[in-house]
Amino acid sequence: MMSVVDLLLMETSDDKPQYRTAIEEVYAKLRGEILTGALKPGERLRVERLRADFGVSATTVREALSRLMSETLVVSESQKGFRVAPLSPEDFRSISELRRELEKMALRESLRLGDDSWEAAVVAAFHKLSKVEELTKIDPVAYAERWDICNFDFHNALVGACQNRWLFYFRAILQSQSSRYLRLALKNSAKERDVHAEHEAILKAALDRDADEICRLIEIHIDRTYEFITGAEIDEN
C-alpha cells in the first residue's frame, strides 16, 4: 500500500527526471519542517528566499508549495504569497472528527483482509513504538519526533491491509495534520496520559480481529488525543 507521500509524489510523465527530483526534495524538506514546527504556523514562505536557500528555480519552489497546499499544510493568500497553514482548536476538531470515521472504515477492511504478514507488520510496529514510549517517560520533548514517527508507522500498519487507496490516502493526510498539532502541543503540555496502554488494547483487538472493539478503542484514542491537544496551549506564532 502506497503512503501519502508516495501518492502525492506520483510521477505524471517520464521526462525531466532532475526537475521532478528537485521538486520532491524541496517538498520533503518543507513538509518535514512544517510537521516538526521548525516552520511556525502562519510563517511566510517567500519564494525568492526559498529559491536561493535550495538553489533551485522559482517554478520548482512554487510546484513544491502547491503540493503542500494539496495537503493543507500551506495556504496561499491573494497578493500576499504563501504561508504555513495556521492552527486552531476548531480546525483540529474538524480533523479529528473526520479522521475518526475514516480510520474506522480503514480498520474494518484491514482486519477483514489482513493475513499473517499483516499481523507480523502490526506486531513489529507496536514493538518499536513501545521502545520509544519507554524513552518518552524520561524526556517526552527530546523523543517527541521519534515517537511520532513510530506512532505514525503503528497506525499505518494497522490499516496496512486496506485496499481502498483513496481511503488510505485521505486518512494519511488527516493523520499528518494530527501529528503537526501533537508535536507542537507536546512542547507546552505536562498532562499525563497512558498512551501505551491505549496502543496495547488496540493491538489486542487487531490480533483478535475484533472490528467492533478496535473501532470503539480508536474512537476513544482519537478523542483523547483531541482533549490532550486542546488542553495544551498551542502557540500559533
List the domains of the chain with CATH numbers. 4-84 (1.10.10.10), 89-230 (1.20.120.530)
Residue 121 CB neighbour total at 10 angstroms: 18
pLDDT digits (tens, 9 = 90+) for 26-42: 999 999 899 888 899 99
Work out whether strand 81-84 and strand 44-45 pair parallel, antiparallel, or are unpaired: antiparallel
Whether the per-residue pLDDT at 21 is higher than 50: the answer is yes
Question: What is the number of alpha carbons within 13 Å of residue 52 lying toward its C-beta?
Answer: 4
Cell of 136: 518518552
- 70-101 pLDDT, tens digit per residue, is 888 999 987 778 999 999 889 999 999 999 99
Cell 519564494 belongs to 47
pTM for this entry: 0.77
